[in-house]
Structure 1
């Protein structure tokens, strides 16, 4: 079966709504801190616990997409997501909420099953474009989720957001059951053998190593920003509430629209050059954040640039790894995205630590240092190959 445009758009829609589960908590940190009488930075632990759960789910569950029929796996894991979101909404202690956060992250890996499914069903010449469209849905979901949760939290309370998300995922179960194609497995061995092959790919595929390492640091930057910006905007001189903070996600969603264009460029002869463009945009965005002061137009411009830069890096790297070994796309994607979200979790923790030590100026200096390190890694691999 080949994908038509409506199939790709449906996958993009489902991907965006499911991945949003990971990010609803970010604008709600202030409200959760007040209810449980916690400091804002301590309540922020939810962000990196959710991302850590996502990394765990990626590593343990996504490889099964090469071993079992993907549609059935997608439906089961989405059902677990519904239960995890309900647990978060009913939590009456921060300890239970932290457990729910890990489970929400682990059960939100469905987009990383949809992407290999779409890659397998796409033609070689359209694969990058297809991935770019689905990534647009994923990234609009990530960034739009902040605006939605900030608004819902302000008017209805933070628990309402988790109940609404559970309802959305429940509806998606029926939609995916009716419309998603079946995708036959490509691996017939045991789970242990399946997992062991991944380490062989790490050793034998230099493109995979480079893409994963660069994505680790790029995701650390993006995640650290979206976690720390909540504290920046909630404190003087802005003193914004969750509603206002969440609306900044709209600016990031504008940057996500660059993903299809990057996907087309990634189908060209030298997609790797897109990565350095993305890193340059990230460093410019951090400069805009550092000099923001009370000028929110610089802050908004920085949000757009950091997300366009992220698309250039991520979509390019994902297209490159999907071209390596078609029969092992789920396992390659597992390595790539697990490393990426370990980076995201580490970035959130780093951002909160930098905030505690020196607030916004120190965060910006720390983020710039990480981007410069990533540029050095890019240059190191440039001497080894062009891919």
Structure 2
């Protein structure tokens, strides 16, 4: 693992990204990641349009996250094998096509297939993040990753209010059509600005894929960080899939635009990424992890006062802050393991916690239907609570 991480044609590996390229990375990551979350506040609209039973509506979000996990496993590792710029542009082009297909989906089967492929090709975001890490100097890597992740997380957090707001004017299909246009524009800009990076790996594709499971088993830091965030992301997905459903019903009776305003509360979570990156650079990842896990537990405790809109807003802010902070702490730790396999490390980390997110969104509708909002909150506390116990047993709480 000591071989050079890159044979860069651009010569920028040790010079950082620069503000223009950093902005492009952040904006592209945000736009791609947003594709997974546009549907969260729209599942009721999409389900009624397509004819999906109420208890199965959250499966729409789950399919996008499963697709993303598939992309993480089978596409992102190619960044350790193929020239990165070409790979990223090809994946973004496929994303544009799949988004356009989703916007015109005629029925349930096409909708499900479209969500799956949109999720898989949106993983181009996770090809950009390790490329940014490879281009950044070691002493600035946490800050650079934090800045790029702030764009990605901004996309995740803004996706809900943007889609809720736009749905009032262009419908849910228009939301995905507009996203296709945005990704197309970013792909064209990336064609002109994105630097080339030729990885130093020489193994074949299937050998590369098989190595993912080996990394999960043999790298304890990667395994622990992946599982911590799987629990956190499950809680995140559970909250943000269930909360819009509750807000659209009595006693709140929100419109989609009202849900959009509520979802803006979570956008404050974007500020956690750059701050967490800098704290990680200073060696505070462990205590930061404890704080992040505890914050999400406390958020769901506050959310048990489900009849109070103020309590739900406070919970939304705290959930997003804690989850986004923990994500950056985890990335900073895994990127320290081996520079020449960062795409695979990122793939394993992201796949692990996105499977957690898929589980969280999948259980949202049935838990809400059978156990109400209190059941959502109890499960939401239990998942980061289990991660906190695991952290204490595996690493202790000292900084």
TM-score with structure 1 setting the length: 0.96
**C-alpha distance in 1 between matches for 2:283 and 2:172:** 47
**Residue in structure 2 matching 1:255, options 269, 290, 296:** 269
Q: Which residue of 1 aligns with 2:219?
A: 205
Aligned pairs (5 A) from 1:203-352: 203-293=217-307, 295-352=308-365
Closer, same or farther: CA 196–251 of 1 in aligned 2, 3 Å: same
Contact 1:24 1:161 in 2 (8 A): yes
Q: Which residue of 1 aligns with 2:169?
A: 155
Shift in Å, 1:367: 1.3
Shift in Å, 1:386: 7.4
SS at match of 1:272: helix
**Residue in structure 2 matching 1:48, options 47, 56, 62:** 62
Number of residue pairs matched? 385
Closer, same or farther: CA 270–148 of 1 in aligned 2, 3 Å: closer
Contact 1:272 1:386 in 2 (8 A): yes
**C-alpha distance in 1 between matches for 2:196 and 2:289:** 34
Does 2:377 correspond to 1:377? no
Q: Which residue of 1 aligns with 2:132?
A: 118
**C-alpha distance in 2 between matches for 1:198 and 1:44:** 29
Q: Which residue of 2 aligns with 1:7?
A: 21
**Residue in structure 1 matching 2:375, options 352, 362, 365:** 362
| CA-based RMSD | 1.4
**C-alpha distance in 2 between matches for 1:162 and 1:330:** 28
**C-alpha distance in 2 between matches for 1:366 and 1:196:** 33
Shift in Å, 1:289: 1.0
Q: 1:249-268: per-residue Cα shift (whole Å, max 9, x none)?
A: 21111121121010000112
Closer, same or farther: CA 270–156 of 1 in aligned 2, 3 Å: closer
Aligned pairs (5 A) from 1:35-74: 35-74=49-88
SS at match of 2:345: helix
**C-alpha distance in 2 between matches for 1:271 and 1:367:** 23
**C-alpha distance in 2 between matches for 1:215 and 1:254:** 19
Shift in Å, 1:105: 0.2
**5+ residue gaps, structure 1:** none
Shift in Å, 1:269: 2.5
SS at match of 2:41: helix
**5+ residue gaps, structure 2:** 1-11
Contact 2:228 2:384 in 1 (8 A): no
**C-alpha distance in 1 between matches for 2:126 and 2:263:** 22
Shift in Å, 1:202: 2.1
Q: 1:307-337: per-residue Cα shift (whole Å, max 9, x none)?
A: 1101221100011000100100001111100
Contact 2:72 2:120 in 1 (8 A): yes
